[in-house]
Amino acid sequence: MLTSQRPKALLLLADGTQFEGRAIGAQGTTVGEICFNTGMTGYQEIFSDPSYTGQIMVMATPHVGNYGVKEGEGESGSPKIAGLVVKKYSEVWSRPGGTGSLDDHLKAAGVVGISDIDTRKLVRHIRDNGAQNALICSESTIPLDVLKLRLSTAPSMAGSELSSKVTSAAPHVEGRTNGAYRVALVDFGAKSNIIRSLAERDCEVHVFPMDTPVADMLAAEPHGFLLSNGPGDPGAMPASVSLVKDIIGTGLPVFGICLGHQLLAESQGIPTEKMHHGHRGINHPVKNLVTGRSEVSSQNHGFVADRAACERNTAVEITHVHLNDNSVAGLRLKGKPVFSVQYHPEAGPGPLDGRYLFDEFTQLMAEHARKAAPVLRNA
């Protein structure tokens, strides 16, 4: 369909800012926290990341949809974003191995979007004024006053627990069958590439819903725990923080990613705080303070562990920092096989600089298993 033939659509921000454009995806009205991603590629993986639940995504790259979608490349079973904002939207796609258009993909998932927006101006507005709720409407019959009222009553991301909307419904096993390591993955909204990254390292991944008691997870006889990424405010998840404390108490190796990292910080008495507009993209510079090496990372988060509290906590060591703003990008507990990072070492999309962290996790599991093995004595 030509751009001029698409219905008109409206983007309304909580501060009253308005943008007019054309409808894409499903027609309707949607509300969520508006954010932006600076990645030039990987939109299918971005849209299907469960961490984006409840958020309207603005793509900073100007052309979206031109390479369609490909079955098996999503980070979950379907798009999870609350809405989509783009500049140029292509319903015509071309890609070897592609399986369909982005437009059909979004319509099937009921994702409402808007195109022909000055996204450069919009991204600058978010950077200057901070993350806020927004609304997209492609229903011309709804009065503006009604839309403003709906937007004003939408819940804030701060204080919202959203992981329960995307966690697994029941325990299940993925990855290698009879792998060398059994990993108990606590699913707060895990990306598929985390599981693939573990499987590549000969791990049998036991995926558990986020409210599974530790005793039930220990029944699988795991060699370690992985605390996954996920959406929402970690400060609104006291039951999950308590669960993480119990997991650390088992003495087994623990690896936290993104929300898992934030929950680990909360479990150590380190508060998390809402960022002005977050880190979302695939070109974020991070420095490993242990090795002195820098890496380019994939990031997606709107909350961060309080750095001053990390520095005061004598049981915690900051291992990674974000080089743009010196925020905490990695932690480990002193004297324990427990560590976490704020970014996404599994990429999907993004660079692979952080994949070594999965190797470190499997090494910790191997070392712990050797220490825990019974010592054979000569008769």
Amino acid identity at 59: M
* C-alpha torsion sign, points 181, 301, 84, 232: positive
Instruction: Tell me if 190 sits within 8 A of 165, measured CB to CB.
Output: no
Q: Hey, what's the torsion of the CAs at 228, 78, 352, 204, to 10 degrees?
A: 50
In angstroms, the CA 237 to CA 229 distance is 13
In angstroms, the CA 63 to CA 68 distance is 12
Q: Which two tokens stand for residue 138?
A: 């492609």
Bridge-based pairing of strands 203-209 and 172-175 is antiparallel
Q: Is 353 helix (H, G, I), strand (E, B) or coil?
A: helix
Active site residue 344: yes
Dihedral class, residue 51 (left if φ above 0, else alpha if ψ from -120 to 50, else beta): alpha
Active site residue 203: no
In angstroms, the CA 320 to CA 277 distance is 20
Taking each helix axis from N to C end, the angle separating 259-267 and 238-249, rounded to the nearest 10 degrees, works out to 80
Q: Is 195 helix (H, G, I), strand (E, B) or coil?
A: helix
Catalytic residue among 45, 161, 266, 346: 346
Active site residue 258: yes
How many beta carbons lie within 10 A of that of residue 216, not counting itself?
A: 12
Closest CA to 209 of 246, 156, 155, 172: 172
Instruction: Tell me if 286 sits within 8 A of 321, measured CB to CB.
Output: yes
Burial tier of 67 (Cβ tally within 10 Å: 0-12, 13-18, 19+): middle
Catalytic residue among 223, 261, 284, 344: 344
Closest CA to 265 of 324, 211, 209, 315: 315
Catalytic residue among 45, 258, 261, 284: 258
Burial tier of 221 (Cβ tally within 10 Å: 0-12, 13-18, 19+): exposed
In angstroms, the CA 193 to CA 311 distance is 32
In angstroms, the CA 332 to CA 241 distance is 16
Residues with a catalytic annotation lie at: 258, 344, 346
